[in-house]
Structure 1
Amino acid sequence: MMREAVAHLRNEEYILIDAGAKTFLLGDIRIQSCYENAREKLGELIVHQEVLVPDVGWIQDYVTKMPDLAWDIIDFSEKPLSICLPGGRHVAEGLLENDGGLFVRVCKEKAIHKLIYNFGRGVFCLHLKASAKDVGVLTLDKKVLHLQASEIGFEPNPKRMSLGLEGEVKFWDA
């Protein structure tokens, strides 16, 4: 399963993670057309988007500066956490917030961690407000690999927060 999933990402295809009432679409973070196609076809279903990385050290590939506090928060977080960090870069433009920030999540769950690590770079993750059968991903014009969240240990409800370079903290509703 892992090799097949990595192959899908490398072929600019998608992975759909089914978590019951919620669905997540993963794709190659650096391929603008891959992100734009998903955004165009699923736009109204997207409630949140983030970049998934397997290790805190990878975050610096995607943001220009990382607040000192972020290292500790991520390392000591026991539950999944998506943090908006300033100065997003090297990602599809639409993944950036209005202020240029980028939501990043370090995936500590074993299988998804391994998937992203083996892929070799972060992936975008679109949180959709629909079940997998309601999404209609066949309209994405690319192949889609379906996975169950329970099979790969993907936690569907990360906490969300923003960190500024001067220590500003903002918590977001789930």
Structure 2
Amino acid sequence: MMDELNKSIKVLQNGGLILYPTDTLWGIGCDATNEAAIEKVYALKQRKDTKALSCLVANDAMLERHVEKVPDLAYDIIEMATKPTTIIYDNPKGIAPNLVTSDNTMAIRVVSDKFSRYLIGKFKKPIVFTSANMAGKKTPANYKEIDQAILSGVDYVVNLEPENQNAVPSSIIKLGMDGLIEVIRE
């Protein structure tokens, strides 16, 4: 695993794109603080940059560095969730402006799989996560279903199997500072 971590980090540091297994699906990733790298993700997916991408963090401490105020309820949701859960937070900070939506929110997930946690922890920055499919196409359930255009469009493909072979997309919950809770996807 260390070899895969080091190769991935080198690509991320150079503004490149990786294809990597996560606690949910295979994803396209890049440095969440690098605006040019994020533009490459949108171009690869042929996706409008008005459709938000999410990012992954390694732990609560990293989450707190990138959200102005994490609502207390978020910690309960993260702890009690029975599957990976992405939370949309108000007022993100320290990430590339083109990851922040027009209403000043950002979708962030604290990852639970070992590879992603180690990668993000060692990289010391959040990493973009978006499913490994072209815009408007079906989300691949496994590596074999990933479109060749995605495979050839990234700078590095992590050579590891995902921890969860029957992965599904994360739940998505929006937590507003005003106390509003909205389930976007169960």
Question: Shared topology, TM-score over 0.5?
Answer: yes
* 2:27 aligned residue: 24
Cα gap change, 1:156 to 1:118, in 2 (>3 Å): farther
Tell me how far 1:44 sits from its aligned partner.
3.1
Tell me the TM-score normalised to structure 1 length.
0.83
Tell me how far 1:26 sits from its aligned partner.
0.6
Sequence identity, in percent? Answer: 20
Query: Which digits, 9 at most, give the CA deviation of each residue in 1:96-135, with x for residues without a partner?
Result: 2231110000001112111111111110112234542343
Please say if residues 21 and 162 of structure 2, whose CA atoms lie closer than 8 Å, have aligned partners that are also in contact.
Answer: no
What do you get for the CA RMSD once the two structures are aligned? 2.6
Tell me how far 1:146 sits from its aligned partner.
4.0
Measure, in 2, the Cα distance between the counterparts of 1:58 and 1:7: 20
The one of 33, 37, 62 aligned to 2:36: 33
Query: Which digits, 9 at most, give the CA deviation of each residue in 1:124-166, with x for residues without a partner?
Result: 11223454234345346xx222445xx1426541100100113
Tell me how far 1:80 sits from its aligned partner.
0.3
Q: Is residue 2:160 matched to residue 1:145?
A: no
Please say if residues 175 and 182 of structure 2, whose CA atoms lie closer than 8 Å, have aligned partners that are also in contact.
Answer: yes
Gaps of 5+ in 2: 134-138
Cα gap change, 1:6 to 1:156, in 2 (>3 Å): farther
Measure, in 2, the Cα distance between the counterparts of 1:84 and 1:122: 15
More strand by share: 1
Measure, in 2, the Cα distance between the counterparts of 1:110 and 1:167: 32
Q: Letter of the aligned partner of 1:4 in structure 2?
A: K
Q: Letter of the aligned partner of 1:76 in structure 2?
A: M
Cα gap change, 1:135 to 1:173, in 2 (>3 Å): farther
* 1:135 aligned residue: 149
Tell me the TM-score normalised to structure 2 length.
0.78
* 2:136 aligned residue: none
Query: Which digits, 9 at most, give the CA deviation of each residue in 1:67-88, with x for residues without a partner?
Result: 1211221122231000000012
Q: Is residue 2:11 matched to residue 1:8?
A: yes
* 1:57 aligned residue: 61
Query: Which digits, 9 at most, give the CA deviation of each residue in 1:33-89, with x for residues without a partner?
Result: 010122123233997621100101211222112112112211222310000000122
Measure, in 2, the Cα distance between the counterparts of 1:94 and 1:113: 24
Measure, in 2, the Cα distance between the counterparts of 1:152 and 1:48: 24
